[in-house]
Structure 1
Amino acid sequence: MLSDFIVLSFALHHLTSDQMLLAIQEMRRVLKPHGRICIADLMIDGEVSTVHEGNEDYIQFPKLIDLLEDKGLRAIPQRMALFLKIFSNYLGRLHNCIKTAEHYMNIAS
């Protein structure tokens, strides 16, 4: 069965380079002609070769573009920096609210 649209959400950085290549090949195999792939993940934009966090490697954005285009896919990059900044601010405020609530719960105990 072929797909019109494939979504890969925050999964690539969990894969090794070989697994990433296999994932791209598989997406290409099951994608209908003129279908679309949406990849949302943590990536590096620049000259840094790799960033490690635990056992995870964050892929270089230009390298991902090359991998996709090598498999016959046309890459149309979209950056989500503004979204991530807003989301990060939200999480920071949520964390502060939780800490404040914990503080008042400890005082009441």
Structure 2
Amino acid sequence: MKCKERGGEQIWNDTDRLLYDPERTRNCVSCGELIPYPRIASLPNTNICTSCATEGQVPSSAPPHPQPPVELRSCPRCGAPTAMYQNTKFKNWFVGCSTFPKCRWSKWR
């Protein structure tokens, strides 16, 4: 039941709850269906519909930045925190000291 298929009118269910309003609804970023107004009213910043949220689908985005392993959270040379860096040529990850270029310690995985 899409609002566009009904000519852009407001659609109410049998308990007088507003389901779709062309001025207050938006499309789901995962499936493209309209998000019902009750979901938008309860979660104003949502961008996925209820069915996609229950199926565990999330919009495609960049993967989160990997974290250094627990045993390498601090630099063995200077004691500063470490970070994960990505090689620009081969796109593989390595652990390095966060104070680079002062400390040049790194470990490739």
Question: Normalising TM by the smaller chain, what interval?
Answer: under 0.3
What TM-score do you get using the length of structure 2 for normalisation? Answer: 0.21
More strand by percentage: 1
What TM-score do you get using the length of structure 1 for normalisation? Answer: 0.21
- Relative contact order (C-alpha < 8 Å, sep 6+): which is higher? 1
The structure number with the bigger radius of gyration is: 2
